[in-house]
Amino acid sequence: MTGSAIRFDGEVAVVTGAGHGLGRGYALALAERGAAVVVNDVVAERATAVVAEIADLGGAAVAAVGTVATAAGGGVIVQTALDAFGRVDVLVNNAGQLRNAAFGDLTEADVREVLDVHLAGAFFVTQPAYRWMCDHGGGRIVFTSSSAGLFGSPWQANYAAAKAGLVGLCNVVALEGAAHGVRANAILPMALTGIGHDGPPPFPPDVLRDTAAALGPLVPDLTVDRVVPLVVFLAGRECPVTGRVFSVGAGHFARVFVGLAPGWVAPEGATPEAVAARLAEIDDPAGAEIPGSMNDATRAVARRIGRGLGDGPSDGPESRSATSEGR
Ligand SMILES: NC(=O)c1ccc[n+]([C@@H]2O[C@H](COP(=O)([O-])OP(=O)(O)OC[C@H]3O[C@@H](n4cnc5c(N)ncnc54)[C@H](O)[C@@H]3O)[C@@H](O)[C@H]2O)c1
């Protein structure tokens, strides 16, 4: 069952960092399915080349050359969509770069530049797009997180922190946007695009070996076109989900989530020694539930300690039991 075609006729999509790699793939696919596309990139030739490719294929696109990393830059990117096409229905926050180093060696510039582009940049482009969407019946926003952020990756503390932060941002945009028809989801993509290949070695030799060994079997499948379908789906008018995180790459599509494990309820307070004694229970993710918001998590704790007031309305996109391990 494949359902009806996902089309974007009459709609406008903004893709940041769309001059290369994954962003280029999203821009081309969205244009092919009828969207007018704003192709942002900080490298002018990249953005204009993708605009030309879309035009050659009969699509509509304009370049927005500049950085996502400032409020002014984000404003210009969204204003480009409004000036050229009069609306913004889809935003894919994708722009990014790497500045890897051992945690102890990261410079202030390494930290700030990566947080600025990935995390602050997503704030600065999303805010003006979100405001317009809220005033005009809604829209769809995709944030680009990473397995490095949610699962950890040595030499990538700056990148991982930014990418984990994007999930926090996505959670709140999904919660606040629900009343306005705005849906927001995040992805953890995998594709060989060359990101980080123009700088110093991205990992120390032992981690590089481990990374190469882990990626090795997947290499033939680590293509951009195996990631694009999820982003097109999440960008679609009928996308039914919000506040989700999905891993996507090499033909594999799967939800990623943060779960609250059943844990241990202390009979009356707890000593540090009792925590030590019950660590196995506290630490066991089996049977975790996935709260849809901070308040859902609080209600789950109240239920577990016997102070639940019933199952009250969930204010999150979802709150339910995970059937497998929490993480
Ligand atoms: N490739 C992967 O396996 C992978 C894995 C996890 C996450 N990601 C994320 O996916 C996104 C795209 O990665 P990619 O692999 O396609 O990389 P890429 O290097 O091929 O493309 C990224 C594009 O972003 C642009 N860019 C960089 N800084 C910018 C800025 N300040 N403003 C506007 N544009 C800027 C670059 O010029 C480049 O064209 C990034 O956010 C990356 O962190 C990629």
Alpha helices in the chain (DSSP H): 21-32, 44-56, 71-85, 108-114, 121-135, 147-151, 157-177, 205-215, 228-235, 272-277, 279-283, 294-304
Q: How does residue 324 score in pLDDT terms, banded at 50, 70 and 90?
A: very low
Give the residues across from 92 on adjacent strands.
15, 142
> Is the pLDDT at 317 greater than 50, yes or no?
no
Q: What percent of the chain stands above pLDDT 90?
A: 87
pLDDT digits (tens, 9 = 90+) for 33-64: 999 999 999 999 999 999 999 999 999 999 99
pLDDT digits (tens, 9 = 90+) for 229-272: 999 999 999 999 999 999 999 999 999 999 999 999 998 889 99
Query: Does ligand 1 have an atom closer than 6 angstroms to the CB of 50?
Result: no
Both 247 and 276 in a single domain? no
Residue 321 has a pLDDT of 38
pLDDT digits (tens, 9 = 90+) for 162-216: 999 999 999 999 999 999 999 999 999 999 998 877 766 778 888 889 999 999 9
The C-alpha atoms of residue 321 and residue 134 are separated, in whole angstroms, by: 31
Both 192 and 50 in a single domain? yes
Residue 231 alpha carbon to ligand 1 centre in Å: 15
Both 203 and 155 in a single domain? yes
Both 150 and 282 in a single domain? no
Residue 33 lies in a domain: yes
Query: Does ligand 1 have an atom closer than 6 angstroms to the CB of 145?
Result: no
Both 204 and 165 in a single domain? yes
Establish whether 159 is a catalytic residue. Answer: yes
> Is the pLDDT at 9 greater than 80, yes or no?
yes
Residue 205 has a pLDDT of 86
Catalytic residue from among 159, 203, 233, 246 = 159
Q: What 3-state class would DSSP assign to 136?
A: coil
Q: Which pair of structure tokens corresponds to residue 199?
A: 């700088």
CB-CB neighbours of 36 under 10 Å: 25
* Residue pair 89/139 in contact by the 8 Å Cβ criterion: yes
> What is the extent of the structural domain holding 288?
272-321
Residue 22 alpha carbon to ligand 1 centre in Å: 7
Query: Does ligand 1 have an atom closer than 6 angstroms to the CB of 144?
Result: yes
Residue 283 has a pLDDT of 98
Residue 224 alpha carbon to ligand 1 centre in Å: 12
Closest CA to 290 of 253, 239, 243, 241: 243
Give the number of domains in the chain. 2
Predicted TM-score (pTM) of the model is: 0.94
Residue 318 has a pLDDT of 46
DSSP assignment of 237-306: TT----S-EEEEETTEEEEE---B------SSS--HHHHHHTHHHHH--TT-EE-SSHHHHHHHHHHHTT
pLDDT digits (tens, 9 = 90+) for 81-103: 999 999 999 999 999 999 999 99
Query: Does ligand 1 have an atom closer than 6 angstroms to the CB of 156?
Result: no
Find the mean pLDDT for residues 302-306. 94
Residue 311 has a pLDDT of 52
